[in-house]
Structure 1
Amino acid sequence: MNRPIRLAINGYGRIGRCVLRALLESSYRDAFRVVAINEPAADIPAMAYLTRFDSTHGVFPGSVEEGEGVLYINGQPIAVSHARLPQEAGWAAHDIDILLECSGRFGTRGQLQAFLDAGCPRVLVSHPANSALDVDYTVVPGINDQGLTGRERLVSNASCTTNAIVPVLHELGQAFGVEHAFLTTLHSVMNDQPMIDGYHHTDLRRTRSAMQSIVPVSTGLAQGVERLLPGLTGKVQAKAIRVPILNVSAIDMMLTLSHNASAEDINALMQSASQRHPALIAYSDRPHASVDFNHDPHSAIIDGSQTRSNGRGIANVFVWFDNEWGFANRMLDAACTWSQRLHPRADVLAADLSVGA
């Protein structure tokens, strides 16, 4: 057996911790090993505590121990640093294959290049780059992950919303054609919002209490969709609304289709997609609430009970997704595919995520 692919995590917040935990709860756990974590805002006791106990995903089903400059997760040592700049974290000492950049603080090529210069051979970014030119590739598993060659050094994993909606739009476009899509994201609160009103953000809406109001915010989802599905360029509009829940989000899709499709036609397509790509898309027509999808690893769960159509090309589709857990699993899928390109004989288990194959 080949040695495990060596991963490091920069930024041990919501996504960083979910990625580590998703790895240890997945079939990838023997293929990857997290060898280093850099977290500038917390000390090791706090990191250990929030690994053990998570208000959203529950108690960690394993062991977490603290050491001097190290966390022991299920007995495996992970070196810990607290650097604020990439060049201060000592990455070169850990023989890293891929760094997972989960802090959300670095979006330009110049900022990300600092990780390469500091000894990280490749960086997988947990958010969209500022522009397509700031990374070598933007990947959405199941859509274009087969385009990874292994020559890339900077790769973006797009956003949780892009990962949720692009596979669905791809399926609908292949079957019925999409003339226009208006996407409204209902997103759980995020850490750029305060618990009580405060001078917290230049966007004045985000100065308001996250848990007391529904808050409209800006979104780059339309650009993210068009970047991955260029055939939809100029056909997508989007808005986002933060809602006062801790986790699980939804996207309400209003569509103009090229070919008429009934609600039954659309649901049949989505059921078929969930059977063809069970790791990526799920389908249900039961009466759901958002909490039903907490800790769900799929990119998208189609709520068939909410599908609507006027039979004349106008349709409405509703998509649930766990914006933390689903996205963390997609980061692992992307790292898996990238690793296979780097080490074709590596013992990495690949999920069959391909949509439209």
Structure 2
Amino acid sequence: MVKIGINGFGRVGRLLVRIALEQCGKGTAGSDLPIVSIVNDPNLSPQCMGYLFKQDTFYGTFKKDIVELDNCILVDGQRIEAVQETDLTKIPWNKHCPVEYIVDTTGEHTTCRSASMHLRDGIKAAIVTGNSDIPIFIMGVNHTCYKPDMKTVSVSSPSMNCLTAMLRVVHENFKVERAMATAIHPISNSDKILDDITGSVCRESRSAIINFMPVRSAAPGRYVSRVMPELEGKVESTAVKIPVPCIGAVDLTVMLGKEITYDLVGAKIKEAADCYMKGVIRYSAEDLASSDIIGDPHSCVFDAKAGVGLQKNIVNLFSWYDAEYAFAHRLYDMVKYIASREVCVK
């Protein structure tokens, strides 16, 4: 087993543990699947960790037995150490058992300097969320560019995973000349329930549960060239926060290098979803609504009925994503991929 530690036991962190346990249950004896050995969250006691892990409003009750002890939780008999440390340099990742990889789901440690604080006591790599100066790798898009000597990597954000998955397929088949994306973000625990004081952007201090609003800082387009350098200067984006939990979407309009039809673009996306982007993209011709996407593990659920052909070389494409469950799956996949590359090098 590949043993990992998680910093941050929020919604994505808890789902990551669920996924790891589910995958280990499906695996064969001796298989190198990630398994969570320790969780750090200074805001949660082991009792709260166990309760929030078991009960989830959107993803349902975890069916296996959970026991909360003084310094750990037992999930279906598997021991997960529970730590409440605020200083990254003092988290005892290897106090009880050797941990190889750290997954930081807080979204706070997005710089190389900050993420590197996890790299001690034999930790091989730290995988973080968010965008900064850390190399970004997105499963199905550029993850094969990862090199084993890279010690801090990012899986970016849910909207970036959705957007770049779509861009990869469209660009490889039709050549993207220009693109404009609107990322539609669900609410999260960092948003305001009621109007309150926040940072420098005044409207982000407004209630997120009864308003929707532009959020420029969350627009993913400026990071696309970090993942797909060939699209440097060709992709712009905006973002909107909506009062819907868990599920987001990307509305993408692209100008292509050749004349096409919307149906042809859809056919190529379906082909990719069934082949080289399987598990990353799902093609759907159903009449979907946001709640239909809850619990979908794909980075990008292409909604064939929601898009349209605008001109001979311009199409509008619409895709959904589960910002929590699908993103947790990509974190799990990235850990598994990094560990497999380590084995290959040996």
Instruction: Give the TM-score of the pair, scaled to structure 1.
Output: 0.91
2:245 maps to: 246
Q: How many residues are paired up?
A: 338
Alignment partner, residue 293 of structure 1: 293
Q: Structure 2: which 5+ runs fail to align? A: 28-32
Match of 1:139 among 133, 137, 140: 137
Query: Alignment partner of 2:305: what SS?
Result: helix
Q: Distance in 2 between matches of 1:210 and 1:118?
A: 41
Matched with 1:113 is 116
Secondary structure of the corresponding residue to residue 236 of structure 2: strand
- State the Cα distance separating 1:27 from its structure 2 match: 5.8
1:261-318, Cα deviation, whole Å (9 max, x unpaired): 1111111111111111321111111111011010000010110001211342111000
Segments ≥4 residues shifted beyond 4 Å: 27-30
Q: Assess if the C-alpha contact under 8 Å between 1:90 and 1:118 holds in 2.
A: no
Q: Aligned equivalents of 1:261 and 1:345: distance in 2? A: 43
Q: Contact between 1:262 and 1:310, CA under 8 Å: does it hold in 2?
A: no
Change beyond 3 A, Cα 1:27–1:73: closer
Describe how 1:187-336 pairs up with structure 2 within 5 A.
187-218=185-216, 219-276=218-275, 277-336=277-336
Match of 2:13 among 13, 16, 35: 16
Q: 2:127 aligns with which of 124, 128, 134?
A: 124
Q: Cα–Cα, structure 1 residues 10 and 286, in superposed 2: closer, same or farther, change >3 Å?
A: same
Q: Which one-letter code corresponds to 1:120 in the other structure?
A: I
2: CA distance, partners of 1:330 / 1:7 = 15
Q: What amino acid is the match of 1:274?
A: A
Alpha-carbon deviations, 1:123-154, whole Å to 9, x = none?
011222x22xxx3x321111222222322211
Q: Which amino acid is the alignment partner of residue 97 of structure 1?
A: E
Deviations, residues 170-229 of structure 1 (Å, cap 9, x unaligned): 110111111111110111102221111111333212211111001211224112211111
CA shift, 1:69, in A, is: 0.4
* Counterpart selection for 1:92 from 91, 94, 100: 94
Q: CA RMSD in A?
A: 1.7
Corresponding position of 1:25 = 22
Q: Is the 8 A contact 1:271 1:283 kept in 2?
A: yes
Q: Secondary structure at the match of 2:333?
A: helix
Contact 1:91 1:119 survives alignment (8 Å): no
After TM superposition, the score normalised by the length of structure 2 is 0.93
1:160 aligned residue: 158
- Distance in 1, matches of 2:148 and 2:185, equals 33
Letter in 1 for 2:322: D
How far has the Cα of 1:15 moved from its partner? 1.1
Q: Deviation of residue 345 (structure 1)?
A: 9.6
Is the contact made by 2:219 and 2:239 (CA closer than 8 Å) also made in structure 1?
Answer: no
Read off the aligned partner of 1:40 and give its amino acid letter. P
**C-alpha displacement at 1:42, in angstroms?**
1.3
> Identity across aligned pairs (percent)?
25
In 1, are the aligned partners of 2:280 and 2:298 still within 8 Å (CA)? yes
C-alpha deviation, 1:120, in angstroms: 2.9
Contact 1:23 1:29 in 2 (8 A): no
CA contact (8 A) 2:20 2:36 kept: no
